[in-house]
Structures are given as structure tokens and as C-alpha cells.
Amino acid sequence: MNKIRSREVEVVVVGAGQAGLSSAYHLRRAGYEPDRDFVVLDHSPRPGGAWQFRWPSLTYGKVHGMHALPGRELTGADDSLPSAEVIGGYFAEYEDAFDLRVHRPVEVSAVREGPGGRLRAETSEGVWAPRALINATGTWDRPF
């Protein structure tokens, strides 16, 4: 086993789409501090989750629904703008408003049992040693 020193946190959240940001919000509400108690890792280079990969002709006015993230409604969006732009901007503002400090782009290559009751999350940013992991990769990726 590789002896690379790992960084200990209570929780690693993998993915910064709707589920990952909602999880991070609730971790903050429970008193956890980002980068000290938990970390959010996302493989995309910018905010927006899977929405950032939607085709430009899908405008926000044509979206059949987008549930607001906890603690902050999406209001005043221009229905004629691409949904990728609207949702990406909303997610970026949400991350800033709640100081979620998403690490990106970060690839998670493996999650294994680690020593001392912790997990071992191997990433392009290094190794994390959380007590718990939230897999919020969504439907666009194929975790294994």
C-alpha cells in the first residue's frame, strides 16, 4: 500500500452538482467547516454540475423544472438564456454565498478502506482520509 500522507477530514463530498452542493450546505448548517471538517471535490473545471454540459438551445424557459438548492432560491432568471449559463451562474453564486470552497478540477480515482476506521479517497489532488463519503456524482459519470 502506498504510504502517501493523507489529509484527514470528517466527510468527503464527491461532486458539486445539486446533490453535492445540498450536502455541503447541510454539513455547514451542522457546524462543519469546509477544508477543515469536510471537502467538496468536483471533476468539472467550473460550477454547474451536469447542467453545464447541456446544449445551448435548451434555454432556461424550456427546462421542465429545476429545484432550488436549500437556503437560496433561484429568482429573476432570464428564460431566454441557455440553461447551462443560468444554472452555472446560480451554482457559482451558491458556492460563494455559503463559502463551500469546492476543489476543482479534481478526479477521484478510488475509494478504499483505510486505516483506523477511515476511508481512503485517492484523487488527483492527493489522498483524503474521511470518516464518511457522499457520492454525489450524479448520472453523467460512471463511478466504480
Residue 140 domain flag: no
Is the dihedral angle over the CA atoms 57, 59, 62, 63 positive or is it negative?
A: positive
Cα separation, 85 vs 2, in Å, equals 41
Residue 96 domain flag: yes
Contact 80, 58 (CB under 8 A): no
Residue 90 domain flag: yes
Give me the CATH number covering residue 106.
Answer: 3.50.50.60
**Across 77-81, average pLDDT:** 82
Query: ω before 105 within 30° of 0 (cis)?
Result: yes
Domain containing 107 equals 7-135
Please give the pLDDT value at position 143.
55
Count of structural domains within the chain = 1
Whether residue 138 has pLDDT greater than 90: no
Residue 2 domain flag: no
- Residues 6 or more apart from 77 whose CB is under 8 A from it? 60, 86, 90
Please give the pLDDT value at position 142.
60
Residue 142 domain flag: no
Please give the pLDDT value at position 56.
73
By percentage, how much of the chain surpasses pLDDT 90? 60
Residue 12 domain flag: yes
Contact 138, 49 (CB under 8 A): yes
If DSSP codes are grouped into helix, strand and coil, which group holds residue 34? strand
Cα separation, 79 vs 47, in Å, equals 20
Beta pairing partners, 108: 123
> pLDDT-derived band of residue 1, with 50, 70 and 90 as boundaries?
very low
